[in-house]
Amino acid sequence: YPLDKRCQELNHLFQELPSKELQHYLPTVLEHVFGFGANLGWGLQSVQPGQPGFDTIRDFLGPHGPLLRLVYRLMSDVGLKYDFPVSCLPSDARRSLSTGPVPPFWATKIPSFPGAGVISQGPTSVQLNAFELYMFHFAYFVVSPSQLGAPHQQLPVMMDVVGGEGQRATGRSMECLYVALLQDYLHYFLPVLHDHPPDLPGYTHIRGHLLAPRHL
């Protein structure tokens, strides 16, 4: 099924369904896009510039695209959390969570965690807001078993983009859609030449609990 058609259909659903319903579907959408568990993903490492759908998918997943606009809306509810497996985190993070001491960044993301310090048994998941969940899936794509082989061929190119400090990349760094998105995110969310935070369309700070954490 053509990916550009999927983007159009998802965009239509995002506009038609209320946020309270869409928040249940976000993890499933991310797992299908980036590949997670049994899902193979959209093959972002294989879509090249000039191929049909490249621009459509890039716009759909871009900082102002329909999917991230949905993420910004869902992030408005500070009580809305999603579970992400600790087993999918970097080794240093897994070690800290299993043996302690737990850094403050992770302490706030552990279910029922009483406070910083050494814990007897590490958690199996961390709780993330919608934006964190998106970016964790995006980052995990590089090492995901469902993408075994292909993404690693792009690692040198990704390092070139990171070394460019978020500036607009060209040439070799644009070899695939995943790297193009990485460049887009660095340029937008971590700008070098701007001193103001990026615009997040639809984001408003709302307290409340719309959905219990989704357990993977």
Average pLDDT over residues 156-164: 47
> Domain-by-domain residue ranges, the chain?
1-80+129-151+174-193, 81-112+122-128
Contact between 155 and 133 under an 8 Å Cβ cutoff? The reply is no
Q: What is residue 206's DSSP assignment? A: B
pLDDT tens digits, residue range 92-122?
899 888 887 888 888 889 876 554 444 456 7
> pTM here?
0.80
Give the containing element (helix H, strand E) for 128.
strand 125-128
pLDDT of residue 214: 41
Question: Tokens in use for 101?
Answer: 């001491």
Q: Which residues contact 113 (CB under 8 A, 6 or more apart)?
A: 102, 107, 119, 123
Q: What pLDDT score does 27 carry? A: 97
